[in-house]
Amino acid sequence: MASVQAPVIPILERWIAETPGTISLGQGLVSFGPPAVALDAARRFGALPADHRYGPNEGIPTLIAALEDKLARENGIIVRPASRLFVTAGGNLAFMTAAFAVLDAGDEVILPAPFYFNHEMAIVMAGGVPVSVPTAENYQLDVDAIAAAVTPRTRLVVTVSPNNPTGAVYSEATLRRLNQLCRDRGLFHIHDEAYEYFVYGGASHFSPASIAGAADHTISLFTLSKAYGMASWRVGYMVFPARLEDAVNKVQDTLIICAPVVSQHAAVAAIGVGRSYTEAQLTGLDAARQFAINVLSAADVPCDVADSQGAFYHFLRIHSALDPMTLSERLIREHRVAILPGSAFGLLGSCSARVSYGALDRSTLEEGLKRLARGLQVIG
């Protein structure tokens, strides 16, 4: 555990608490909450004695059925007979479960960088060895570089699209090519689809597990935290090869037994509302995305920002000699604005940061971005 990086968000939250009035462009959240029907379902829960007992390890049958239907309609993923579906307590636990189920001590896991820091942390906790592989222009996957990084100890390749932390959206052609590489080399492909509904500017989301023949080596991760504003409810789900069912069941039973049953009932109602609930928010998020690009791309702001097409993040390459963590602390304490340092996402040796624009109302976001631009100009 000593070799696992410290979670960066609690550190920044402590600095924010010590600096009243700070606007956070850090944590990846949405500004909206769950659908009303999900809240109603939670209020109805608890009348029966069975409501207060453990649920099935894999999830309650009504939610399993709703998710399998959703996956078939929206993602082209047919769960059975080749795959299985488990409901987990959020997307992070789904990844942790997959890591424990697949990895032996010393197995290598390829992470295109910048990567989601909790993925890297989970790999180390499970005894694996993270292998960082640079991405290409605009943070797109470099499949040739990934192929060159494969060794006899490689067990997994991890992708996230739409991406956290960069907002990049990977094309269907690229994901097909990478998934085929994993199949040819005998590797598992974990694909995190937490931001599947958050795409802009003509970009489209693709699920590699929909590829014919992909079921036996593809693990897909999903969550309701973003799409339905249910971060605190802790509901995620994973689709994985049927041959891993025993291993996943062991991990689930040990770590959590089952996801919170009251949250699963709320999730059934949310899934019934469907993706239109999230899509109604995309116009406002896209406007926020464009505004952030305009502010941060100004000639007098010392950073480079890619035109991301997904999630609700921009990743900045900052023209500064400062360590990213030092820069983040100074921005909070001197300019009352918070961003996440790029070093947490595996980019070392240069100054970079993730900016999140999804959790704030427009006026607060505008003020936060102005503080950030001013802070970057002053700190240099």
pLDDT digits (tens, 9 = 90+) for 24-47: 999 899 999 999 999 999 999 999
Closest CA to 194 of 164, 170, 233, 234: 164
- The rounded distance, in Å, linking the Cα atoms of 369 and 296 is 8
pLDDT at 307 over 90: no
- CATH (one of 3.40.50.970, 3.40.640.10, 3.40.50.850, 2.60.40.420) for 36-273: 3.40.640.10
Query: At residue 341, does pLDDT exceed 90?
Result: yes
pLDDT single digits (tens) 152-168: 999 999 999 999 999 99
Domain 8-32+281-379 has CATH 1.10.3720.10: no
CA 360 to chain centre: 19
Residue 64 has pLDDT above 80, yes or no: yes
Cα-only R_g, the chain: 20
Q: Assess whether the region 8-32+281-379 and the region 36-273 belong to the same CATH fold.
A: no
Q: Is the pLDDT of residue 328 over 80?
A: yes
SS3 label, residue 276 = helix
Token digits of residue 226: 């973003």
The residue behind tokens 């789904």 is: 94
Q: Express each pLDDT in 101-120 by its tens digit.
A: 999 999 999 999 999 999 99
Model confidence, pTM: 0.96
Contact present, 206 and 196 (Cβ < 8 Å): no
Give Cβ neighbours of residue 328 (< 8 Å, ≥ 6 apart). Answer: 12, 15, 338, 339, 340, 341, 353
**Would you place residue 380 in the very low, low, confident or very high pLDDT band (cuts 50, 70, 90)?**
confident
Q: pLDDT (tens digit, 9 = 90+) per residue, 350-367?
A: 999 999 999 999 999 999
**pLDDT tens digit sequence for 211-248:** 999 999 999 999 999 999 999 999 999 999 999 999 99
Q: Where do the domains of the chain lie?
A: 8-32+281-379, 36-273
Annotate 204-241 with b (16+ C-beta within 10 A) or e (fewer).
ebbbbbbbeebbebbbbbbbbbbbbbbbebbbbbbbbb
Residue 188 CA to residue 74 CA, distance in Å, equals 23
Could you give the percent of the chain with pLDDT greater than 70?
A: 100
